[in-house]
């Protein structure tokens, strides 16, 4: 059995932003059942969890004698071991993996910077001056991403783990309004969110907060 960790009380109230969501989504896409161990913020910093995750974060992934942290690694692990998230062609597979890295290394950092700016730095005297710099760096990533996607459904042929990660990263921008400046990216995210596996993962994450388990 696979066990992942997630927030006992997610700051987003279970609305899909906590990073266990991308692992849940990948598990749903490849049809693997899993259990969730919920952690308080204190428990995340205790030795038992630090042995699994050196930075005291969620999610982690345990399967038999394998323990992983970092969502990129976990999603890639699932995609490599189960059909459905990576193409068979070796070059297409390498390109799909490249999009996982692009999502995490190139697109996610400026998006997370916006979260930091708004949530943790809003009361600093320089916050208002910094905000346009941060949003400008996001647009500098979204414009070429939008150009590359064009009118395609997914980034490189069929839906892959690369799309799963890119959609997961872009979702955080929905509330800012920046995503809607790029209609093809907004539609791309909506396509990801419409996938049955995404819906199941979302409902399961939300149920932690509401206490209502999804049917089935
Ligand atoms: N790069 C890590 C980031 C993990 C991360 O930031 N997790 C957040 C939840 S989404 C967390 O645990 N935050 C609490 C903390 O850092 O103390 C990954 O992709 O797994």
Atom of ligand 1 nearest to the CA of 57: 12
Rounded Cα distance between 160 and 79, Å, is 9
23-54, pLDDT tens digit by residue?
999 999 999 999 999 999 999 999 999 999 99
How many Cβ atoms sit within 10 Å of the Cβ of residue 193? 15
Phi, psi for 35 (deg, rounded to 5) = -115, 160
180-199, pLDDT tens digit by residue?
999 999 999 999 999 999 99
Token couple for 167: 């959609």
CB 141 within 8 A of CB 107: yes
> What Cα–Cα distance (Å) separates residue 5 from each residue in 28, 73, 146, 151, 206?
16, 15, 33, 36, 14
Cα(20) to centroid of ligand 1, in Å?
A: 9
Q: Which pTM value belongs to this model?
A: 0.96
Cβ of 70 closer than 6 Å to ligand 1, yes or no, is: yes
**Strand partners of residue 39:** 7
The residue among 20, 189, 159 whose CA lies nearest residue 79 is: 159
Cα(91) to centroid of ligand 1, in Å?
A: 31
């Amino acid at each position: 059995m696979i066990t992942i960790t997630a927030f006992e009380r997610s700051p987003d109230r279970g609305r899909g932003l906590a990073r266990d969501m991308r692992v849940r989504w990948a598990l749903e896409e490849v049809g693997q059942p899993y259990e969730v161990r919920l952690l308080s913020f204190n428990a995340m910093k205790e030795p038992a969890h630090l042995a699994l995750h050196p930075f005291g974060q969620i999610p982690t992934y345990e399967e038999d004698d394998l323990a992983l942290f970092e969502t990129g690694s976990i999603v890639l692990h699932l995609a490599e071991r189960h059909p459905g998230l990576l193409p068979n062609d070796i070059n297409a597979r390498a390109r799909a993996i490249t999009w996982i890295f692009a999502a995490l290394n190139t697109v996610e950092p400026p998006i997370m910077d916006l979260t930091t700016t708004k949530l943790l730095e809003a009361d600093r005297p320089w916050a208002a001056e910094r905000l346009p710099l941060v949003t400008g760096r996001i647009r500098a990533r979204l414009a070429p991403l939008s150009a590359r996607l064009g009118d395609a459904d997914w980034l490189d042929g069929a839906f892959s783990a690369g799309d799963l990660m890119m959609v997961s990263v872009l979702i955080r921008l929905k509330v800012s309004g920046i995503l809607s400046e790029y209609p093809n990216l907004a539609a791309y995210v909506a396509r990801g969110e419409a996938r049955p596996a995404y819906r199941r993962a979302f409902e399961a994450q939300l149920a932690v907060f509401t206490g209502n388990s999804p049917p089935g």
